Amino acid sequence: MQGKSATEKFMAPASEQKKHTLVAALMIIGSLLILAAGIFELSYVLSYASVLSTNSLAFNALVANTIGVNSTLTHNVTYVNNLKNYIINGTIAILAIEIICGGVLIFSGIMVYRPKGSRLKIFSLVGIIFSLVSLIISAGFIVFIAGAVLGTIGGILGLMKK
């Protein structure tokens, strides 16, 4: 007796599907942590970006002292303002990537709950990849790290299932 082809396994009817509750729960909880932290921090950065985008003397002095330039010189004001904008825009970009990773991870968690055929392995691998991306760019924030670890554990458990 021959086994099922890859197409037959991929298109298996719902009655033959198994539920992978633990795998899905770990991935979804991890993604919710990543999403919640990302949205919270993005709102925090955006609320202060408007304050920092004005000529805030205290922030300009902080940036100038950090990079070692004299903030009182007028030709350095443009340099400090440009650096300040790069910092704000970079932070927003990193947090946007975190939110995207959380969104993909929640989608993967939903898809591994009752996968058809080899979708369990595919979405577990996608979950691991995006969890690791989130872990790499998390910048040490504990909620991001916890979410990424849970997503990675869920993905690894999904790869170990038969």
Tens digits of per-residue pLDDT, 25-76?
999 999 999 999 888 888 888 887 766 655 566 666 666 666 665 555 555 6
- pTM for the whole structure: 0.73
Task: Write the pLDDT tens digit of every residue in 76-109.
Answer: 666 667 777 787 888 888 889 999 999 999 999 9
| Rg, the chain, Cα only | 22
Handedness of CA 77, 82, 88, 94 (dihedral sign): negative
Q: Per residue in 120-144, is it b (16+ CB within 10 Å) or e — as a string?
A: bbbbbebbbbbbebbbeebeeeeeb
- Report the domain count for the chain: 1
Domain of 48, in residue numbers? 19-160
State both tokens at 162.
């038969």
Q: Does a structural domain hold residue 88?
A: yes
Q: Does a structural domain hold residue 9?
A: no
* pLDDT attached to residue 26: 93
